[in-house]
């Protein structure tokens, strides 16, 4: 076969350090645009982005050559440096992240879920949501290390 063909989609979730409510509406608009640029510069494709004051969700298309840990490290390091430089010198992302595979058949469902984070979080807090994502994805974890 002369070329490689992949369908790699990842739902990424990460929070602000200490779950500080530091991403207001004005910042989120600019931050999401900046993050989209980081994703593109790394050769990925941003399919959806959303969140609330203390965390964000992204749905990204990845290439076979991407290493997820490098991709997310660059995403978080570059975006936090931008926020510190442009808006809030104390801003930082929490260590770690959640990454969940998304099949092609579920892309629209996950896009809608990510885009509706504000409404979603009127009913459920981040910690409940994150544990549910881990459970639904079959990820093993020890809750004492989550928070």
pLDDT digits (tens, 9 = 90+) for 119-145: 988 888 888 999 999 999 999 999 888
Q: Is 2 inside any structural domain?
A: no
How many structural domains compose the chain? 1
Indicate whether 43 belongs to any domain.
Answer: yes
Instruction: Tell me the range of 2-6, 12-16, 116-120 where mean pLDDT is highest.
Output: 12-16
Give residue 120's domain range: 8-139
pLDDT computed for residue 93 by the predictor: 98
Instruction: Indicate which CATH number applies to the domain containing 126.
Output: 3.30.70.1290
Element (DSSP H or E) covering residue 12: strand 8-15
Q: Which residues are registered as beta bridge partners of 59?
A: 11, 48
pLDDT (tens digit per residue) in 66-99: 999 999 999 999 999 999 999 999 999 999 999 9
Q: By three-state DSSP, how is residue 146 classified?
A: coil
């Amino acid at each position: 076969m002369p070329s490689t063909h992949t369908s790699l989609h990842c739902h990424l979730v990460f929070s602000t350090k200490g779950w500080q409510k530091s991403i207001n509406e004005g910042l989120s608009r600019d931050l999401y645009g900046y993050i989209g640029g980081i994703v593109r510069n790394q050769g990925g494709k941003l399919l959806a982005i959303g969140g609330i004051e203390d965390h964000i969700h992204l749905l990204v298309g990845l290439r076979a050559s991407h290493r997820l840990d490098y991709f997310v490290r660059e995403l978080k390091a570059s975006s936090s440096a931008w926020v510190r430089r442009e808006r809030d010198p104390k801003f930082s992302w929490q260590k770690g992240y959640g990454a969940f595979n998304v099949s092609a058949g579920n892309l629209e469902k996950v896009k809608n879920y990510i885009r509706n984070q504000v409404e979603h979080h009127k009913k459920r807090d981040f910690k409940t949501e994150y544990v549910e994502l881990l459970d639904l994805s079959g990820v093993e974890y020890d809750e004492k290390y989550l928070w």
